Amino acid sequence: MTETETKAPAPLSRMAIRGVVGGTLMGMANLVPGISGGTMLLAAGVYPDFIRGIGEVTTLKFSVRQQATLLPVTLAALTVIVLLAGVVRDLVVGYRWAMYSLFIGLTLGGVPIVRELLGEFDNKAKGGAAAGFLCMTALALAQTMGASGVGSNEGMLWMFMAGTAAAGAMILPGVSGGYLLLVLGAYVPILSGIHAFKEALKAGDTTAIMDPMLGVVLPVGVGVVVGIAAVSNALRWFLANHRSATLGALLGLLVGAVVGIYPFQQGVEPQIGDMFKGRALTAETLADVDPEDWPTEFFTPSPVQVGGGFGLVFLGLGLTLGIRKLRGPDEE
């Protein structure tokens, strides 16, 4: 009897639980520039089923197994994004070193999962891993050097394009959809629009609902659907036809993602006269710069921060490995 024949499919209940956990982590990650939602799905062990599930939906073919992962991931991610957009943003802005340390642990926990999916680490896998790692390192260096959005971008078409690009990026492990939105200058408008939409819903103000819904929520939502469908189907094809090189590239993206989330960095408040988005700041415009948009710089951590950072890394790693145990050793 072969190894494949001895493996049993994962129970649907376990797949649904992993989907909820993965979707929750994905939703939180996509609220934070520099953190990849696809990485979190890999860490939770649901990435291949998520990609296959999207492929089924876009081709109008459905199976209970794949949808038992796709639906919980989608609902959990959307719920987190709507409910926790402000909370997660504030935690990262106020406690960046702690949150990034936790995300490093969660990210590294996905490495053995991808390595297990890969199997033999052949030359194609090595080449893909090197390419993925170099791509993520280049992106991390661009982020460290202060790449940021320029100009003020508004309009339904722009929101659609931003949603499409970010959604395609967010399901690629190691590539941050939130960071891409920041580069495109759409990060703050989208989070603000989601928050305004939520507050209008809570107040039951139908008039106030229309502006953020038509200006942000609807075009971004349609763009997200288009971006996810396009990228997931492309990944599905590559996994089916070039599995070793593709999984190697995903492994490289995953390891390289850690480069871009070095925890001991902090936001630095800009001063009057500093250049921000192509313009010199005045006393009036300085007050409008949100702390989440401040440039960051590395700092020397205290012994307590070093110890706490390592502790949070191991906590994130333990959480990921604990999630991994939801899949038994004999499950596909």
pLDDT of residue 144: 60
d(CA 122, CA 108): 22
| 3-state SS class at 216 | helix
Could you tell me the pLDDT band of residue 28, with boundaries at 50, 70 and 90? confident
Cα atoms in the 13 Å half-sphere on the side-chain side of 304: 0
Lowest mean pLDDT among 28-42, 124-138, 194-208, 295-309: 28-42
d(CA 238, CA 244): 9
d(CA 320, CA 43): 6
pLDDT of residue 307: 95
- Work out the angle at residue 40's Cα, subtended by the Cα atoms of residues 35 and 44, and round it to the nearest 5 degrees: 165
Kindly state whether residue 332 falls inside one of the protein's structural domains: no
d(CA 149, CA 84): 23
| Share of the chain residues as helix, strand and coil, in percent rounded to the nearest 5 | 70, 5, 25
Please give the residue range of the domain that contains residue 147. Answer: 10-264+300-324
pLDDT tens across 94-124, in order?
888 888 888 788 778 778 877 877 888 889 9
Could you tell me the pLDDT band of residue 265, with boundaries at 50, 70 and 90? confident
> Maximum CA pair distance of the chain?
74
Kindly state whether residue 181 falls inside one of the protein's structural domains: yes
Q: Is the pLDDT of residue 325 over 80?
A: no
Residue at 209: amino acid letter: I
- CB atoms closer than 10 angstroms to residue 275: 9
Could you tell me the pLDDT band of residue 306, with boundaries at 50, 70 and 90? very high
Q: Is the pLDDT of residue 147 over 70?
A: no
Kindly state whether residue 285 falls inside one of the protein's structural domains: no
Q: Is the pLDDT of residue 244 over 80?
A: yes
Kindly state whether residue 108 falls inside one of the protein's structural domains: yes
Kindly state whether residue 288 falls inside one of the protein's structural domains: no
pLDDT of residue 176: 66
pLDDT of residue 127: 93
Kindly state whether residue 312 falls inside one of the protein's structural domains: yes
More confident residue, 45 or 221: 221
Q: Is the pLDDT of residue 22 over 70?
A: yes
Region 231-246: mean pLDDT is 86
Strands 279-280 and 296-298: unpaired
Kindly state whether residue 294 falls inside one of the protein's structural domains: no
More confident residue, 160 or 172: 160
Residue at 163: amino acid letter: G
Rg of the chain on CA atoms, in Å: 20
Kindly state whether residue 279 falls inside one of the protein's structural domains: no
Q: pTM of the predicted model, to two decimals? A: 0.64
Q: Residues of the chain with pLDDT > 90: what percent?
A: 8
Could you tell me the pLDDT band of residue 32, with boundaries at 50, 70 and 90? low
C-alpha distances out from residue 4 to 118, 181, 216, Å: 15, 41, 46
pLDDT of residue 305: 93
pLDDT of residue 207: 79
pLDDT of residue 303: 94
What total number of domains does the chain contain?
1
